[in-house]
């Protein structure tokens, strides 16, 4: 499915008039669509999402707490 020759176009029709849905690689399409489906389904089906407390803000709060605070200028 993957390969090619150095210096030669892998797909002669890439961004040309002949680049249509009629010349799709069905094996590549199946593999990449399965990968995309897995990338969406897996986090959607977890109980906690990306962070242990189930929020998207947890990492932001932790990194903000670790970041050095800016001191205001003297007036």
Rounded CA gap, 75 and 73, in Å? 6
pLDDT one-digit tens code per residue, 11-48? 888 888 998 988 888 998 999 999 999 988 887 787 66
Q: Is residue 10 part of a domain?
A: no
Output the pTM of the full model.
0.46
**Which residues are within 8 A (CB) of 13 and not within 5 positions of it... i.e. 6 or more apart?**
19, 20, 23
Q: Is residue 5 part of a domain?
A: no
Q: Is residue 32 part of a domain?
A: yes
User: Is the pLDDT reported for residue 51 higher than 80?
Assistant: no
Number of domains within the chain: 1
Q: Which of 1, 24, 29 has the alpha carbon at shortest distance from 13?
A: 24
Q: Is residue 11 part of a domain?
A: no
Q: Is residue 14 part of a domain?
A: no
Q: Is residue 36 part of a domain?
A: yes
Q: Is residue 41 part of a domain?
A: yes
Could you list the residue range(s) of the whole structural domain that residue 28 is in? 21-66
Rounded CA gap, 53 and 37, in Å? 25
pLDDT one-digit tens code per residue, 55-68? 666 666 667 777 66
């Amino acid at each position: 499915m993957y390969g090619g020759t150095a210096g030669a176009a892998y797909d002669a029709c890439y961004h040309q008039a002949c680049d249509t849905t009629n010349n799709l690689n069905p094996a590549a399409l199946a593999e990449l669509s399965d990968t995309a489906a897995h990338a969406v389904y897996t986090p959607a089906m977890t109980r906690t999402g990306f962070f242990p407390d189930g929020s998207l803000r947890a990492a932001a709060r932790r990194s903000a707490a670790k970041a050095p605070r800016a001191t205001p200028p003297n007036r």
